[in-house]
Amino acid sequence: MHFFDDGRLDGVYQIASENCDARPAGAVVELIVIHNISLPPGEFGGPGIIELFTNRLDPKAHPYYRKIAKRRVSSHFLIRRDGEVNQFVPCGLRAWHAGESSWRGRSRCNDFSVGIELEGSDNLPFEEIQYEKLSELVRVLKEKYPIADIVGHSEIAPGRKTDPGLHFDWMRLQVFKS
């Protein structure tokens, strides 16, 4: 895997999301934020995540979708349960994944982070292939950007978010933490 100049990663499935914008002038990618997502909740493999990130989620397709269909969110990457890696936003742009957030006294984590979604939930273990792909992705991100920390969404939005959840094995990434 390697990055093109615009922040797209070679060798992953590209799905453009318009839920992004320019990073503030001088912003440097220093943080990786790990999330989990499943749509509908607890179900894997369907089109819901892609539809949400591309503003095509049908509120009639599932009762849960009625309350989230109008949200404008995205992430830089999604790692599916089978290990497929999708990229929605080039890393040079700001994806809308963190929401109201703060890390080490700095607010607006979207400004200086890359968001990685793992297809999963707070109450189920992740797949071995997801850890393998995540480790590879973290390695190439650290080669390209001065990554200082890798955190869960729950760490930058405590009390508001719980992902990646108790089943995420942080020890699998300890080698990458600074």
Going by CATH, does the domain composed of 13-176 fall within 3.40.80.10? yes
Residue 116, burial from CB neighbour count under 10 angstroms (0-12, 13-18, 19+)? buried
Main-chain phi, psi angles of 126, to 5 degrees: -90, 165
**Spatial separation of the C-alpha atoms in residues 114 and 131, rounded to whole Å:** 17
- Model confidence pLDDT, tens digit, residues 149-160: 999 999 999 999
DSSP H or E segment with residue 138 = helix 128-144
DSSP letter at 67 equals: H
pLDDT at 177 over 70: no
Rounded mean pLDDT, 137-161: 96
Rounded mean pLDDT, 71-77: 98
Domain boundaries, the chain: 13-176
Strand bridging mode 77-79 / 85-87: antiparallel
The pTM (predicted TM-score) of the whole model is: 0.96
- Please tell me whether residue 171 adopts helix, strand or coil conformation: helix
Catalytic residues: 117
């943080």: which residue's tokens? 31
Contact 177, 150 (CB under 8 A): yes
